[in-house]
């Protein structure tokens, strides 16, 4: 599975750790930055991740910033993207099961790295239930 990952300065350390964790699990990782803790603008990285997922170059995207809101708002501007802010395993699971989310947005300032790692595993391992949720997902795009 191809996974694309990106973060701003607040999410940089989590991105680096998560990237290595997923590579050890044999996932193909595309890192869109940032590449240091220097202050940057989150949309620059969220757009790159969303473009790769919407272009089917990666199956799943991971975005990390302080609150996860900025990257989620930015990513959701792209056609075909359903980016979900997740802060618990249950939210990560429901985002996939009910909303067919394809990008997980992690709030680095509000969850531990262990929580981020576990949520990412849940997000990757959970599949869309379809059924009654399919027609709802079809109504999302304008």
Residues designated as active site: 65, 98
3-state SS string over 49-86?
Answer: HHHHHHCCCCCEEEEEECCCHHHHHHHCCCCCCCEEEC
List residues bridging with 7 in a β-sheet.
64
Q: For strand 103-107 and strand 60-65, is the pairing parallel, antiparallel, or unpaired?
A: parallel
Question: How many Å apart are CA 113 and CA 123, to the nearest integer?
Answer: 15
Question: How many Å apart are CA 53 and CA 131, to the nearest integer?
Answer: 23
């Amino acid at each position: 599975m191809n996974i694309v990952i990106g973060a701003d300065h607040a999410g940089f350390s989590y991105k680096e750790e998560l990237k290595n964790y997923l590579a050890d699990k044999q996932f193909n990782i595309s890192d869109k930055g940032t590449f240091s803790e220097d202050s940057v603008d989150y949309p620059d990285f969220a757009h790159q991740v969303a473009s790769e997922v919407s272009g089917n170059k990666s199956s799943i995207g991971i975005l990390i910033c302080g609150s996860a809101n900025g990257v989620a708002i930015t990513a959701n501007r792209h056609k075909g993207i359903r980016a979900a802010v997740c802060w618990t395993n249950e939210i990560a699971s429901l985002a996939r099961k009910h909303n067919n989310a394809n990008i997980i947005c992690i709030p680095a300032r509000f969850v531990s790295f262990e929580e981020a790692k576990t949520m990412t595993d849940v997000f990757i391992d959970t599949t869309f239930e379809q059924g009654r949720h399919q027609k709802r997902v079809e109504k999302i795009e304008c």
